[in-house]
Structures are given as structure tokens and as C-alpha cells.
Structure 1
Amino acid sequence: YPIELEYARSEMHMQFANIATPSEIVVTTTFRVEFGESAGDLHICIPYSTFEPIREILYSPLQGDQGGPDRRWLTLLTQQIKSASVELAAELAYSRATVGELMALKVGDFIELDRMPTLVSKVDGVPIFECDYGTLGGRYGVRIREFLTQTGGSAAAGQP
């Protein structure tokens, strides 16, 4: 069923759109549209009677649909999430200084750091693992001690 759209007019205020009678049932949806710094809501309102010619198609199940989730979509979404690149960061040590102290630093100055016994690895600022750090085969790295919950607390050791 091809749809042919025709621009009739636009209305900035939804209450003045007048596309259906007050007693008519309508289907509405809102989209947030962003163009750089500008953003706005796009409201779409379609009278329910518009769907009458294709009502049987809308109510009938898809061929092969067992009433469960679409496995192809779920598989594709899972693959895309697993292949997404993220940056894992682990802060090994830290130090506090005033702006004046930083401005007075010069090449060769020594900055004392407070070393932490364990560190927290984060993805996009979100704590994910509590880790030990060290070297293996001449490379620096971290060993996961435990997974952290979404609230920042500990989950069972070795469990996601």
C-alpha cells in the first residue's frame, strides 16, 4: 500500500491543527529532531480511520511470527553491541596541586603520586572492574579482581 503525501499546511500549535473532530480517535507519536544545536519535537497525528483500508494487515501476525521477539533483530542488535568500540581507562595514581604549584613546575621536576592498592577500570567514566595492576611479559596491564555493579558497589567476584 503506497502512501502519497501532500503538504497542505503546517501549524506550530498542536491544539490548532484541526485534522480530526474532537470525538475521533487518533494515533499520535512524537519524535525529537536535532540539527546541531537546534532541536524540536515533531508530532505526528493520524486519524484512526486512515488505517481502516489496511486494518487486516496490521492486525494479522507476520508470517513465521510465533508471537515472540524477532530473533533476527535481536541477533543483529547483539552483534552490533558486541562490536562497538569502547575505551577502558584505569587511573594508576593521582596527586593534588594548586594552580600556582602547577605553574611553577619545570622540566625535570618530580611530582609525588599517591599510589592506590587497587584501581577501578572505567568505560566512559562508569566504573566496571576493580583491578590489580602489574606487568606480564614486559607489558603493563590490569588483572580483574571483581566486577562492579551499576551502582558502583561490588558484585560477586568474577561475576558480571
Structure 2
Amino acid sequence: RIQKYSDFERNLPVPSNLNMVGLKPLRGISLFTFDPNLVFLIIDSLFGGHGRYSTRIEGRDFTVTEQRIILRLLEHTLDCYCSSWEPVYKIEAEYIRSEMHTKFASISSGNELVVVTSFNIEFGAQGGNLNVCLPYSMIEPVRDLLIRPLQDTSGDAIDQRWTQQLTRQVRSAEVDLTADFVKIDTTVRQLLSLKVNDVLPIDMPEKIITHVDNVPIFEGTYGTFNSKYAVRVQKFLTTTEPDFHKAKLHDRSKQS
């Protein structure tokens, strides 16, 4: 939601865990806040408690141990937050400092607008909020990128940025390329009767076919190259969508 920074400050519990974070290359400083109840619930759970922290929290500061745990929680939060931004705009979080009172962690003037995103985190019957506060001026340069996926709802409006991102991810995916040289037909009886030093005669083919997930990709010849075994591509095989479905069904049948 969009609101004045003064309204956001007024609704924060006292004390709170206020973390000032830069989001490069965006200009300005963001604020990640954890409710004190949430912080103490997490700390209580980490030290073997039942997540039912009920001690009075007003007027006390976080201990050194508690601050270290909070920083670990913040690091994980920032990693997830940056990952969620990556499909739209790549950002890098830069931790600045932590405070407990808003007068020492002011990121904007009281009348300026901020964008606040709140997440409610529950531990059993209790919990608290994680708030992410961004000055509106901070995200104004990327405003079009944030609203474009919501506007381009027609089938003809293709977002080239998303298409390029998906293409890069698909092309960088790792696959196992398998080359089968020979197959031997045998029976269970013959297999169980095998002994050490038994010889199984085979006929090496002139050409081999390589597969990815049991789907044929290309045909080639084998040999050596730079003192290593190698396959020379001679012909690419046509791969259709039904081939992939058949391969998946084949894999499932082998697993069952």
C-alpha cells in the first residue's frame, strides 16, 4: 500500500527492529522492520522454547546474541526479497545498519509517500509482521516495469523482457547427454549364472544415437579426439513433443 511515511512510522510498535538497507542500483534507502513479538518468538524457538514468548518487551533492548540472530534472519529475508525481484529488475541488497527507534532510522520526510508491503508470519497461535518500506521516489524509475505485467494481459502483448529471461534460463539448464554403444539381449537365467571372467560377445555399431531423457537427439560416429573418446555429429534427429511424453512415461515405468 502507498501511504505517508509519517503514518507508517506512527503504526510501528515500540520498540521495533528497524533495518536500513540499500537496494542497488535503486537510489535511496529502504526499511525492513520486524515486530518485536516476532523477533522474540523466533529467538525463543531457536533456543528450544515453544514459541510462546510472553515476557514484557517494552523498554528493553536486544542483546548481542539476539542481534546476531536478527541479522541472520535479515540476511535470509534479503536473499528471498532480491530473488523475487530478479524476473523484473535485478537488485542487490546492501545492509547499512539497524536501529530500534524510528527517529534514528528515518529514510524519508514525514510527508513523502512510501510503498509498504506487509507479511504476517505466524508461529502457532502467535506471530508478527515483517514490513518492507520503500520510498516512492526509489521505485519510480522502475514503475513501468512493475505494472507492465498487469497491463499486458492480451495474447498479442508479449513482454520481450520476460521472454528473453525465460530463454536464457532454458538455455543455461543442464542436461545429461547419453550415448548408448551397445545393447545385449539376455535372460534372467543367463544373468544370474554370470561369473567373474565370463565373456559377453558384442557387435559394435558403426553409428550411435545420443539421447536426452530417452529422447533421441542426433546420430553420429565415435572415435577419439585430443586423446579422449568423442562422438562426431552426423545428423540431427527430429524431436517432437510426443517423444518427450513417451520418455517421461518410460522413466516412470522404470521407477515403479
TM-score by length of 1: 0.52
Task: Report the 3-state secondary structure (helix = DSSP H, G, I; strand = E; otherwise coil) of the residue aligned with 1:102.
Answer: helix
For residues 88 and 140 of structure 1, the distance between their equivalents in structure 2, rounded to whole angstroms, comes to 14
- 1:73 partnered with 2:156: no
Which residue number corresponds to residue 195 of structure 2? 106
For residues 120 and 73 of structure 1, the distance between their equivalents in structure 2, rounded to whole angstroms, comes to 35
Identify unmatched segments of 5+ residues in structure 2: 3-146, 241-256
Which residue number corresponds to residue 119 of structure 1? 208
Which residue number corresponds to residue 128 of structure 2? none
For residues 165 and 157 of structure 2, the distance between their equivalents in structure 1, rounded to whole angstroms, comes to 16
Which residue number corresponds to residue 217 of structure 2? 128
CA contact (8 A) 1:94 1:114 kept: no
Post-superposition offset of 1:114? 2.6
For residues 140 and 111 of structure 1, the distance between their equivalents in structure 2, rounded to whole angstroms, comes to 22
Which residue number corresponds to residue 86 of structure 2? none
Corresponding residue pairs, total: 92
Post-superposition offset of 1:61? 4.9
Post-superposition offset of 1:135? 0.8
Percent pairwise identity: 41
CA contact (8 A) 1:94 1:115 kept: no
For residues 174 and 215 of structure 2, the distance between their equivalents in structure 1, rounded to whole angstroms, comes to 15
Task: Report the 3-state secondary structure (helix = DSSP H, G, I; strand = E; otherwise coil) of the residue aligned with 1:94.
Answer: coil
Match for residue 228 of structure 2 among 111, 118, 139: 139
Which residue number corresponds to residue 95 of structure 1? 184
Residues 71/97 of structure 1: CA separation in 2 closer, same or farther (3 Å cut): same
For residues 211 and 159 of structure 2, the distance between their equivalents in structure 1, rounded to whole angstroms, comes to 33
1:1-160 superposed matches below 5 A = 61=151, 68-150=157-239
For residues 174 and 203 of structure 2, the distance between their equivalents in structure 1, rounded to whole angstroms, comes to 31
Which residue number corresponds to residue 40 of structure 2? none
Relative contact order, higher structure (CA 8 A, sep 6+): 2
CA contact (8 A) 1:129 1:146 kept: yes
Task: Report the 3-state secondary structure (helix = DSSP H, G, I; strand = E; otherwise coil) of the residue aligned with 1:111.
Answer: coil
Task: Report the 3-state secondary structure (helix = DSSP H, G, I; strand = E; otherwise coil) of the residue aligned with 1:79.
Answer: helix
For residues 86 and 119 of structure 1, the distance between their equivalents in structure 2, rounded to whole angstroms, comes to 19
Q: Deviations over 1:33-61 (max 9, x none)?
A: xxxxxxxxxxxxxxxxxxxxxxxx9xx95
For residues 61 and 142 of structure 1, the distance between their equivalents in structure 2, rounded to whole angstroms, comes to 49
TM-score by length of 2: 0.33
Which runs of 4 or more aligned residues in structure 1 lie more than 2 Å from their structure 2 counterparts after TM superposition? none
Q: Deviations over 1:57-85 (max 9, x none)?
A: 9xx956xxxx6411110110001100111
Task: Report the 3-state secondary structure (helix = DSSP H, G, I; strand = E; otherwise coil) of the residue aligned with 2:174.
Answer: coil
For residues 104 and 131 of structure 1, the distance between their equivalents in structure 2, rounded to whole angstroms, comes to 35
For residues 74 and 148 of structure 1, the distance between their equivalents in structure 2, rounded to whole angstroms, comes to 26
For residues 147 and 91 of structure 1, the distance between their equivalents in structure 2, rounded to whole angstroms, comes to 16
